[in-house]
């Protein structure tokens, strides 16, 4: 770990240049232990960093990115950014660099055990998951740890630094005719209960053995935390970005203040939450904060960076991504408020429907209606008379997220943080939805 002085000190040379200068620095020490066939087959460790220098000359913007975190490397990157800016036409929409003097919140600091986590510790956690599996069940999955240091330094006087740790584990238990999944993420490796993950995944193999084929159609569902998180994340990409909102490409365009889903649904973005690995500032140095997006089913906000916030007249909400980012602000620390029901109570309220552990390979069908498609996998069960009666073969859904959440009948009390596929992550509880449209089936 480098610490604040060493990381932010790299920006000094760049700040001496003419023009407005923003330097976004990061340093990442990450490791991921991967297993399949119940043995560790890939095991990696990577130490990397990045300096992203943005120079603004009379409205002309240039960005240079380098992973050479030396003073010479930063200086060379800054000169290249100046060269790019000098050739680029002026950007009339650029809202300028963020001002100094903002009140920044606090996030939990790095966890010492996670910072120094040796590969043997990750291997022990893999073994802990495997030890909980029934005989004859093989497994695949991951245990990963990371330390990320971030800093933003600008010629306008911003000088901020933050360090966070993260840890995540997952296990896919594979039986002869069924599979089961469990995963979790935390800000510290001590927050992972890997034995519990192994037990949950293993139990699902037994529950789902010899799955029956169910015809496609509309079914009430109970979604586990990870499946709900996927829906919330996709809302984050489709409905909440400020530029999509400004340009009427979002389901929420012109609908702030309207009821868009069930009163049981409240979604916020909060990088300051102790349950998420967030930072007190975004990639422009704007202070991050608790941002309400959907409050009791009513659309109340979207995410802006400085540029889209200026267009909307609301200013930045602290959701800038690293420049250049034409898509504008995007929320990446989404939390859906928990309810009161246990997972057993959610299931008991289902007369006949499906219990979904996990979705796979989601993609957009219609961005304005928030319609997406994807598959279920690793634990899809039929529920009858309030109890799971057996596994079903996986199904494909094609469904509007907001329409699904409009039918939210109950919300679970145990929201779990999951690391999303292909980046991202969200904290969301299990839910019971009155209807979910499955459009086809598969063979397993």
Partner 1 sequence: MQTRDLADLADLALAEVTRLGVEHADVRARQEDSESVQVRDDVVEGVSHGSSSGVGIRVIHDGAWGFAATSDGSADAVRRAAQQAVEVARASAMVRGRDGARAQLDERQPSVGTYTTPHERDPLEVPLSEKVDHLMSATATARDAAAVSYVEATTEAWRTATAYRDSSGGAVDQLVLQVGGGLAAYAIGGGEVQRRSYPNSFGGQYETGGWERVLLLDLIGGAADAARDAVLLLDCPDLPLREDAVLLLESSQLALQVHESVGHAVELDRILGSEAAYAGTSWVAATDRGSLRYGSPLMTVIADATTPHAMGTFGYDDEGVPAGQAPIVTDGVLTGYLTDRQSAAALGEQSNGTARADSWGAIPLIRMNNVSLQPREGDLASIVADTDDGVLMHTNRSWSIDDKRLNFQFGCEVAYEVRRGQIGRMYRNPTYAGRTPDFWGSCDALGGPSDWKVWGVPNCGKGQPSQTARVAHGASTGRFRATVGVR
Which residues fall within 8 angstroms of residue 263, CB to CB, at 6 or more apart?
A: 296, 297
**Angle of CA points 288, 289, 295, to nearest 5°:** 135
Site for partner 1 in 369-428 (CB under 8 A): 369, 371, 373-375, 377, 394, 396, 398, 421-423
Distance separating alpha carbons of residues 410 and 144, to the nearest angstrom: 33
Shortest distance, CB of residue 403 to partner 1, whole angstroms?
12
Site for partner 1 in 240-269 (CB under 8 A): 247-249
Residue 4: in which H helix or E strand, if any? helix 4-9
Q: Kindly state the number of chain residues that form the binding site for partner 1, as judged by CB under 8 A.
A: 93
Which span sits near partner 1 by CB under 8 A: 4-12, 65-73, 329-337, 403-411?
Answer: 65-73
DSSP conformation class of 78: H
Which span sits near partner 1 by CB under 8 A: 295-303, 345-353, 356-364, 428-436?
Answer: 356-364
Q: Reduce the DSSP state of residue 110 to 3 states and report it.
A: coil
Please, which residue, 52 or 333, has the CB nearer to partner 1? 52
Show the binding pattern over residues 176-215: x = contacts partner 1 (CB under 8 A), - = does not. Answer: ----------------------------------------
Shortest distance, CB of residue 68 to partner 1, whole angstroms?
7
Asked whether the beta carbons of 336 and 427 are under 8 A apart, the reply is yes
Please, which residue, 88 or 337, has the CB nearer to partner 1? 88
Q: Reduce the DSSP state of residue 12 to 3 states and report it.
A: helix
Please, which residue, 125 or 411, has the CB nearer to partner 1? 125
With CB under 8 A as the contact rule, the residue among 11, 130, 223, 302 that binds partner 1 is: 130
Please, which residue, 348 or 398, has the CB nearer to partner 1? 398
Q: H helices of 239-333, where?
A: 242-246, 306-312
Which span sits near partner 1 by CB under 8 A: 133-141, 187-195, 202-210, 262-270?
Answer: 133-141
DSSP per residue, 271-311: TT-TTS---SB-TTSPBP--EEEEETTEE---B--HHHHHH
DSSP conformation class of 103: P
Please, which residue, 41 or 290, has the CB nearer to partner 1? 41
Please, which residue, 19 or 367, has the CB nearer to partner 1? 367
Contacts of range 117-122, beta carbons closer than 8 Å, 24 or more positions apart: 117/31, 117/145, 117/167, 117/189, 119/31, 119/33, 119/43, 119/45, 121/189, 122/31, 122/33
77 near partner 1, rule: CB under 8 A: yes
Adjacent-strand bridge partners of 274 = none
Asked whether the beta carbons of 329 and 241 are under 8 A apart, the reply is yes
DSSP conformation class of 16: T
Which span sits near partner 1 by CB under 8 A: 79-87, 101-109, 148-156, 408-416?
Answer: 79-87
Show the binding pattern over residues 81-120: x = contacts partner 1 (CB under 8 A), - = does not. Answer: ---x--xxx-xxx------------------------xxx
With CB under 8 A as the contact rule, the residue among 1, 15, 17, 32 that binds partner 1 is: 32
Shortest distance, CB of residue 274 to partner 1, whole angstroms?
25
69 near partner 1, rule: CB under 8 A: yes
Shortest distance, CB of residue 160 to partner 1, whole angstroms?
22
With CB under 8 A as the contact rule, the residue among 15, 311, 365, 406 that binds partner 1 is: 365
Adjacent-strand bridge partners of 388 = 383
**What are the backbone angles phi and psi of residue 347, rounded to the nearest 5°?**
-70, -40
**Angle of CA points 97, 19, 284, to nearest 5°:** 20
Show the binding pattern over residues 292-321: x = contacts partner 1 (CB under 8 A), - = does not. Answer: ------------------------------
Side-chain-side CA neighbours of residue 88 (13 Å): 21
Site for partner 1 in 318-337 (CB under 8 A): 323-326
Which residues fall within 8 angstroms of residue 172, CB to CB, at 6 or more apart?
A: 139, 140, 141, 179, 180, 181, 201, 378
218 near partner 1, rule: CB under 8 A: no
Site for partner 1 in 135-174 (CB under 8 A): 138, 140-142, 144, 170-172, 174
With CB under 8 A as the contact rule, the residue among 23, 31, 167, 427 that binds partner 1 is: 31
Which span sits near partner 1 by CB under 8 A: 13-21, 229-237, 338-346, 364-372?
Answer: 364-372
Residue 61: in which H helix or E strand, if any? strand 60-66
Site for partner 1 in 35-54 (CB under 8 A): 35-49
With CB under 8 A as the contact rule, the residue among 17, 115, 298, 368 that binds partner 1 is: 368
Distance separating alpha carbons of residues 182 and 143, to the nearest angstrom: 12
- Of 247, 255, 246, 242, the closest CA to residue 286 belongs to 242
Please, which residue, 4 or 91, has the CB nearer to partner 1? 91
């Amino acid at each position: 770990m480098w610490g604040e002085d060493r990381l932010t000190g790299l920006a000094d040379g760049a700040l001496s240049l003419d023009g407005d200068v923003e330097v976004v620095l990061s340093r990442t020490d990450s490791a991921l232990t991967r297993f399949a066939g119940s043995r560790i087959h890939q095991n990696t460790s990577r130490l990397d960093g990045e300096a992203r220098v943005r120079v603004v000359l009379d409205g002309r913007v240039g960005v240079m990115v380098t992973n050479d975190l030396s003073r010479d490397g930063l200086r060379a990157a800054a000169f290249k950014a100046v060269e790019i800016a000098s050739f680029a036409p002026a950007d009339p929409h650029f809202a300028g660099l963020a001002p100094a003097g903002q009140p920044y919140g606090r996030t939990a600091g790095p966890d010492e055990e996670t910072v120094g986590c040796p590969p043997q510790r990750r291997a022990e956690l893999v073994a802990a998951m495997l030890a909980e599996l029934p005989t004859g069940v093989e497994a695949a999955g991951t245990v990963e740890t990371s330390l990320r240091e971030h800093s933003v330094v600008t010629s306008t006087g911003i000088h901020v630094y933050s360090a966070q740790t993260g840890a995540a584990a997952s296990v896919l238990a594979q039986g002869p005719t069924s599979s089961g999944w469990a995963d979790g993420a935390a800000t510290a490796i001590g927050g992972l209960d890997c034995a519990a993950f192994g037990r949950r995944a293993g139990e699902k193999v037994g529950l789902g053995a010899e799955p029956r084929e169910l015809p496609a159609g509309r079914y009430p569902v109970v979604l586990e935390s990870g499946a709900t998180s996927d829906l919330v994340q996709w809302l984050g990409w489709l409905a909440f970005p400020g530029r999509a909102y400004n340009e009427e490409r979002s389901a929420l365009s012109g609908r702030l203040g309207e009821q868009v889903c069930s009163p049981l649904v409240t979604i916020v973005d909060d990088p300051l939450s102790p349950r998420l690995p967030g930072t007190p500032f975004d990639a422009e140095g704007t202070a991050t904060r608790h941002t309400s997006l959907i409050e009791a089913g009513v659309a109340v906000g979207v995410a802006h960076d400085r540029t889209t916030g200026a267009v909307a007249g609301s200013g930045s909400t602290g959701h800038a991504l690293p420049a250049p980012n034409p898509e504008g602000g995007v929320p990446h620390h989404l939390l859906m408020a928990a309810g009161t029901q246990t997972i057993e109570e959610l299931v008991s309220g289902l007369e006949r429907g499906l219990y979904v552990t996990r979705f796979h390979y989601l993609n957009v069908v219609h961005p304005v209606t928030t319609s997406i498609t994807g598959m279920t996998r690793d634990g899809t069960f039929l529920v009858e008379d309030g109890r799971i009666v057996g596994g079903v073969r996986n199904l494909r859904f094609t469904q509007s997220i907001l329409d699904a959440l409009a039918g939210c009948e109950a919300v679970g009390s145990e929201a779990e943080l999951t690391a999303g596929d292909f980046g991202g992550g969200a904290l969301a509880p299990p839910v019971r939805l009155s209807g979910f449209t499955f459009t086809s089936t598969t063979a397993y």
